[in-house]
Chain A
C-alpha cells in the first residue's frame, strides 16, 4: 500500500533557527512530491518536485527530492513566528491523480 511518512510529527524551535522537515514515501510509479503549508484552514502550495537533486527555492524555504532514498526535505532558514504551521507532504503516482498524504509536521516557532 502506498504511504507517505513525515518526521518529526512536531517541532518547537526559536525564531531565527533553521529547521529541516523530512518526508519519505513508498509509492508505486512515483510522479511527483508536493509540499503544502497549512495554517488555519486551506493547505497552500509550496513546492512540487519531480526530479532528483534539483533544489526548489522560495525565499527562506527550499526543498529537494532524493529519488534514490525515496525522500524529500523541506528547509526553512531564519525561521519567523509566521512560519508556524502544519507542513504537509503529498505524493502523486502516475496511474491516477490522487494525492497520498503524510500526517504532517506541526512546526511551532517561539519568539
Chain B
C-alpha cells in the first residue's frame, strides 16, 4: 500500500516569506507527527495530532509555526515570516495509534535564502 507522502520534496523560499508543507499519512492512521531535522542532527519533535486535534504542540519553536489537520488525514505545516534558521528537512510520520510504530515520509527539504 501507499506510504506516507510529503510535498513538495524540496522548497526554496526567501527570508520573510510564508510556506506550507503538506503531509499525506497512511490511510486509517489516526496519529500524525511532524519532526524537524537539521543537517547532521537527529529529528526533533514539533507536533503530534490524534485525529483532528493537536494533542501535543510543545515542540513548535515559536508562534511563526502552526500546523493543522482539519479532517483527520492530511496535515499542513505552516511557517510564517521564514528565517534562515528554519532551513531543515521537515519529516512527517503517521501511526495507527499513539503506541504503534511510526512510518515516516521522505521529508521536505526547506531552504530559506
The reply to whether chain A is a binding partner of chain B is no
B residues adjacent to A (C-beta < 8 A)? none
A residues adjacent to B (C-beta < 8 A)? none
